[in-house]
A and B are shown apart, each in its own frame.
Chain A
Amino acid sequence: GESVGLHLPTLSVQEGDNSIINCAYSNSASDYFIWYKQESGKGPQFIIDIRSNMDKRQGQRVTVLLNKTVKHLSLQIAATQPGDSAVYFCAENRGDDKIIFGKGTRLHILP
């Protein structure tokens, strides 16, 4: 069954505010957790990954937090822009040669 899932299917955020997209996982043996962004009609794009022995990783305007105690992953987007409007997927790498995707959260940016 699905082991990587998201708390909410849709999230609406005011332009300029920070966005927080959440994800729960069940497999404690995963090596990496990954975030992808998919714009309408396009293929997903890699955003950032975090190794399972880390708590936090920062990228350009994004931060991923990993809480292994409660098996929770989040993606924070600072100063959300219209171009951030997309579906965001969390995914996990269990140490083999493929990754498993969750169902996605659609991020709406309000003007």
Chain B
Amino acid sequence: DGGITQSPKYLFRKEGQNVTLSCEQNLNHDAMYWYRQDPGQGLRLIYYSQIVNDFQKGDIAEGYSVSREKKESFPLTVTSAQKNPTAFYLCASTPGDSYNEQFFGPGTRLTVL
């Protein structure tokens, strides 16, 4: 089955530690995205990548970093510089010829203690 996976589903970290969230897709999609969702809020774009080895900042990139070394993978690192990292993180992908229909993973809920 083709799809987009995120792991782990729940993640706990101590304040001051960096943490990396995994996102993998086997849909052969070119573009991948990371969003943050806070309770009762919409999705805010953190970073996105249209092609391997290239990525752009979204609206709330500060305190986050990404890499896109492979087409299938787009990991997100939440650094200690992110002031309020506890949130639900969603990864998505699109084929690249249409950006309206994004395919989302199940999300990772990060709690920083």
A-contacting 9-mer, from B67-75, B77-85, B100-108: B100-108
Q: How large is the interface on A (under 10, 10 to 19, 20 to 34, 35 or more residues)?
A: 20 to 34
CB nearest to B33 among chain A residues: A98
CB nearest to B50 among chain A residues: A97
| Chain B 74-98: CB-based contact to A (< 8 A → 1; otherwise 0) | 0000000000000000101000000
Which B residues are CB-close (under 8 A) to A100? 45
Given contacts A42-B107, A43-B107, A98-B48, contact A93 B99 (CB under 8 A): yes
Q: How large is the interface on B (under 10, 10 to 19, 20 to 34, 35 or more residues)?
A: 20 to 34
B-contacting 9-mer, from A11-19, A68-76, A101-109: A101-109
B8 at the interface (CB under 8 A from A): no
Q: Are B31 and A97 in contact (CB under 8 A)?
A: yes
A43 to B50, CA, bound (A): 20
Q: Are A98 and B42 in contact (CB under 8 A)?
A: no
Q: Which of B35, B58, B101, B107 has most A Cβ within 10 Å?
A: B101
Which B residues are CB-close (under 8 A) to A82? none
A99 at the interface (CB under 8 A from B): yes
Which A residues are CB-close (under 8 A) to B60? none
Give 27 pairs: A residue, B residue, CB < 8 Å, sorted on A: A9-B40, A34-B100, A41-B106, A42-B104, A42-B106, A42-B107, A43-B90, A43-B105, A44-B102, A45-B104, A49-B100, A49-B101, A89-B42, A89-B43, A93-B99, A97-B31, A97-B48, A97-B50, A97-B99, A98-B45, A98-B99, A99-B99, A99-B102, A102-B42, A103-B40, A103-B41, A103-B42
> Which residues of B are in contact with A by a Cβ distance under 8 Å?
31, 33, 35, 40-45, 48, 50, 58, 90, 92, 99-107
